[in-house]
């Protein structure tokens, strides 16, 4: 069975600084997707970034980038130039596309951006 672990329950960062959120996962599958979702107080889960396991290149979306280490089963999220609007709960998620499309979420990291 797949598992996703986020070992940082809470983090804070100064506005305009850079922060990295950690995620590790365990799977025996070779084909899968990894995601970071953001859930602000408005409670809607918003997709931040996606990484395909078959791609060696790390995904980037504007200020958000990942460090995907497949052998180490590590998938960290770097937020550059942090903004107050980045304050949210961040969930790492794993999905195996071969069959059930079941997303498995980590326990989340609460990020607070300080002015």
Q: Which of 39, 55, 35 is nearest to 104 (CA)?
A: 35
Asked whether position 95 contacts another protein by CB under 8 A, the answer is: yes
User: Among 99, 105, 3, 94, which residue's Cα sits nearest to residue 53?
Assistant: 94
**How far apart, in whole angstroms, are the C-alpha atoms of residue 60 and residue 17?**
17
Please count the residues of this chain forming the interface with another protein, following the rule CB under 8 A: 24
- Using the structure block, give the residue that is written with the tokens 């709960």: 89
Q: Least distance (Å) from another protein to the CB of residue 99? A: 9
47 binds another protein (CB under 8 A): yes
Query: Could you say whether residue 46 binds another protein (CB under 8 A)?
Result: yes
Q: What residues make contact with another protein under the rule CB under 8 A?
A: 33, 35, 37, 42-47, 50, 52, 89, 91, 95, 97, 100-103, 105-108, 110
């Amino acid at each position: 069975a797949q598992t996703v672990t986020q070992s940082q329950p809470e983090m804070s960062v100064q506005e305009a600084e850079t922060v990295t959120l950690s995620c590790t996962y365990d799977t025996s599958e070779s084909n899968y997707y990894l995601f970071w979702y953001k859930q602000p107080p408005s409670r809607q889960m918003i997709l931040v970034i996606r990484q395909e396991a078959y791609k060696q290149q790390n995904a980037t979306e504007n200020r958000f980038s990942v460090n995907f280490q497949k052998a180490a089963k590590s998938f960290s999220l770097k937020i550059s130039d942090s903004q107050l609007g980045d304050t949210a709960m961040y969930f790492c998620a794993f999905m195996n596309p071969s069959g059930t499309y079941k997303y498995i979420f980590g326990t989340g990291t609460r990020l607070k951006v300080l002015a």
